[in-house]
């Protein structure tokens, strides 16, 4: 059953329409009470949406590792942190150099990406020596060590618990200040689109196919004369760079980075997002990222609502902890809706028409080490 919407041109048109609508939001006054904090043109709402898109981009890069390669990494947040911290620190170091601000900004971005690439290769080279749960543990341990170093302000660069602030004097004016929030929003949208296209490109490439094949059957790939180690390393490093791109966007949007974004809990959040959206689906990572962020925001707002405060403790305490509700929601999705949001929608739309197999994505099936 090949309709216009499933053809390549159809997909392009749908994608263009979605991006176009998203790009128009800052010019419109759409108000969705209960979901958005205010009309879409207000800086507050735009910041929330931009943040959600950056998290979606980060989740997409995590999807490459978890969904495509089938590797459970607990260290992905460190690459996001590398992007955010890297930009802030390099800008601060280069600011007194006397170079024009624009040059400083560009050099800082390039250097940050190079650092992420190097870091991704180093961590990947080490962690990919082992597979399964040991891989997860190595990434967790490395991320934990990074987090501790960032907190302890090793080398005096990371600012300890205070974190790093963005030196706004060397950032282009169009990206600074509340009046320019819509520019930051468009930047976040652009980052999401770039990361999405990069993911499509990687997944469709020969490398992507080999990595996916190695997830299903490592032996077969080895027999074909390919070393899963190197293709996985390439993918891991690629995902690290994409995470750093999202991290750069985060730094520009929030103007500061704190150790929170380098914790393993932050990576666990990504895992929650990817599973919530649907493991193995690119759209799952995006939908999951946006839904999770908006839910997190709304639940935090709910916590301070009048009617919640009046409830007895047994109800009030769980309801005023967004992470509790999100964590339990995640547990329910894992137990009762494998395939997440996108998987559910597929099941609904495919009940009629072609009886394509909607079994849970393969990534979940055989990752037992």
Partner 1 sequence: MTAILTVRGLDARIAGQQVVEGASFEVAEHGVTALLGRNGVGKSSNIKALLGLYERSGEVTFAGERIDRLMTHRIVQRGIAYVPEDREVFGGLTVEENLRLAERGGAPNRGIVAELFPELIQRAKQQAGTLSGGQQQMVSLSRALMNDNRLLLVDEPTKGLAPLIVGTVTKALEAAAERTPMLLVEQNLQVVRALAHSVIVLSGGRVVHTGPAADFLDSDLVHRHLGVSTDEEAA
Partner 2 sequence: MSTVLLLLITGIGLGALYFLVASGLSLIYGLMGVLNFAHGSFLTLAGFLGWEVGRRIGDGTWAGLLTGMLVGLVVGAVVAALTELIFIRPLYNRHIEQVLVTVGLGLASVALFEGIWGTDPIQIRLPEWLGGTTDVLGANIPNDRWLLIATAVVVLVLIVLFLQRTSYGLVIRAGVENRTMVTALGIDVRRAFTIVFAIGGAAAGLGGVLASVYYGQVGAHQGTSLLIYAFIVTVIGGLGSLTGAAIASVLVAVIQQFANFYLGGTGDLAIVLALAAVLLVRPTGLMGKVKH
CB of 70 to partner 1, least distance (A): 11
State the binding partner of 311 from partner 1, partner 2, none, CB within 5 to 8 A by kind.
Answer: none
**Looking at 17, 300, 348, 369, which residue binds partner 2 (CB under 8 A)?**
369
How far apart are the C-alpha atoms of 156 and 95, rounded to whole Å? 17
Q: Are 5 and 11 in contact (CB under 8 A)?
A: yes
Q: Which stretch binds partner 2 (CB under 8 A): 20-28, 33-41, 194-202, 317-325?
A: 317-325
Decide if residue 97 touches partner 1 (CB under 8 A). no
State the binding partner of 255 from partner 2, partner 1, none, CB within 5 to 8 A by kind.
Answer: none
Decide if residue 327 touches partner 2 (CB under 8 A). yes
**Looking at 216, 227, 265, 317, which residue binds partner 1 (CB under 8 A)?**
216
CB of 276 to partner 2, least distance (A): 10
Q: Quick one: 124 or 361, whose CB is closer to partner 1?
A: 361
Residues 241-270 that bind partner 2 (CB under 8 A): 264-265, 268-269
DSSP letter at 353 equals: S
**Surface-to-core class of residue 237, CB atoms within 10 Å of its CB (0-12 exposed, 13-18 middle, 19+ buried):** buried
Strand, coil or helix: 165? strand
- Total residues contacting partner 1 by CB under 8 A comes to 5
How far apart are the C-alpha atoms of 16 and 20, rounded to whole Å? 6
CB of 364 to partner 1, least distance (A): 11
**Cα 361 to Cα 37, 137, 181, 367, distances in angstroms:** 34, 24, 38, 12
CB of 217 to partner 1, least distance (A): 8
> Following DSSP, what letter does each residue of 124-157 receive, concatenated?
HHHHTTS-HHHHHHHHHHHHHHHHHHHHHTGGG-
Residues 142-171 that bind partner 2 (CB under 8 A): 142, 144-145, 148-149, 152
Q: Quick one: 217 or 350, whose CB is closer to partner 1?
A: 217
**Looking at 6, 97, 134, 217, which residue binds partner 2 (CB under 8 A)?**
134
Decide if residue 217 touches partner 1 (CB under 8 A). yes
CB of 365 to partner 1, least distance (A): 6
Tell me which residue of 81, 234, 74 sits closest to 139, measured CA to CA: 74
Tell me which residue of 89, 133, 129, 139 sits closest to 109, measured CA to CA: 89
Residues near 167 by beta carbon (within 8 Å), at least 6 away in sequence:
88, 91, 92, 95
Q: Are 62 and 270 in contact (CB under 8 A)?
A: yes
Decide if residue 138 touches partner 2 (CB under 8 A). yes
How far apart are the C-alpha atoms of 135 and 274, rounded to whole Å? 19
Decide if residue 366 touches partner 1 (CB under 8 A). yes
> Residue 153, by phi and psi: left (phi above 0), alpha (psi -120 to 50) or beta?
left
Q: Are 46 and 109 in contact (CB under 8 A)?
A: no
In which residue are the tokens 């989740």 written? 59
Strand, coil or helix: 102? helix
CB of 121 to partner 2, least distance (A): 15
State the binding partner of 364 from partner 1, partner 2, none, CB within 5 to 8 A by kind.
Answer: partner 2
State the binding partner of 362 from partner 1, partner 2, none, CB within 5 to 8 A by kind.
Answer: partner 1
**Cα 180 to Cα 44, 75, 117, 193, 297, distances in angstroms:** 12, 33, 30, 20, 22
CB of 67 to partner 2, least distance (A): 12
Q: Quick one: 142 or 286, whose CB is closer to partner 2?
A: 142
State the binding partner of 272 from partner 1, partner 2, none, CB within 5 to 8 A by kind.
Answer: partner 2
Site residues (CB under 8 A) for partner 2? 72, 126, 129-130, 133-134, 136-138, 140-142, 144-145, 148-149, 152, 264-265, 268-269, 271-272, 275, 317-318, 320-328, 330-331, 334-335, 338, 364-365, 367-369
Site residues (CB under 8 A) for partner 1? 216-217, 362, 365-366
């Amino acid at each position: 059953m090949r309709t216009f919407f499933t053809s390549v041109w159809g997909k392009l048109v749908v994608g263009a329409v979605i991006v176009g609508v998203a790009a128009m939001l800052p010019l419109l006054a759409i108000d969705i009470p209960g979901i958005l904090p205010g009309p879409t043109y207000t800086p507050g709402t735009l910041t929330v949406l931009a943040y959600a898109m950056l998290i979606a981009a980060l989740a997409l890069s995590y999807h490459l590792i978890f969904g495509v390669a089938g590797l459970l990494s607990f260290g992905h947040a460190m690459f996001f942190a590398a992007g955010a911290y890297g930009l802030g620190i390099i800008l601060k170091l280069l600011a007194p150099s006397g170079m024009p601000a624009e040059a400083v900004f560009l050099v800082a971005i390039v250097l940050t990406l190079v650092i992420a690439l190097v870091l991704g290769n180093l961590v990947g080279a080490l962690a990919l020596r082992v597979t399964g749960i040991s891989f997860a543990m190595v990434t967790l341990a490395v991320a934990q060590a990074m987090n501790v170093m960032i907190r302890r302000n090793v080398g005096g660069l990371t600012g300890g618990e205070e974190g790093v602030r963005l030196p706004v004097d060397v950032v282009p004016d169009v990206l600074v200040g509340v009046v320019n929030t819509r520019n930051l929003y468009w930047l976040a949208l652009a980052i999401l689109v770039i990361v999405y296209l990069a993911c499509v490109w990687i997944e469709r490439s020969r490398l992507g196919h080999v990595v996916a094949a190695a997830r299903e059957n490592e032996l077969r790939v080895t027999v074909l004369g390919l070393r899963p180690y190197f293709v996985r390393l390439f993918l891991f490093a690629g995902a690290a760079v994409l995470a750093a791109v999202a991290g750069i966007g985060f730094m520009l949007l929030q103007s500061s980075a704190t150790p929170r974004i380098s914790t393993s809990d932050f990576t666990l959040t990504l895992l929650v997002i990817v599973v919530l959206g649907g493991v193995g689906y690119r759209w799952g990572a995006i939908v999951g990222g946006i839904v999770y962020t908006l839910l997190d925001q709304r639940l935090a707002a709910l916590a301070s609502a009048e009617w919640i405060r009046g409830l007895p403790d047994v109800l009030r305490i769980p309801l005023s902890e967004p992470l509790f509700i999100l964590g339990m929601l995640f547990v329910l999705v894992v137990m009762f809706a494998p395939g997440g949001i996108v998987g559910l929608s597929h099941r609904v739309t495919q009940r009629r028409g072609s009886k394509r197999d909607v079994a849970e994505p393969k990534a979940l099936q055989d990752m037992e080490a």
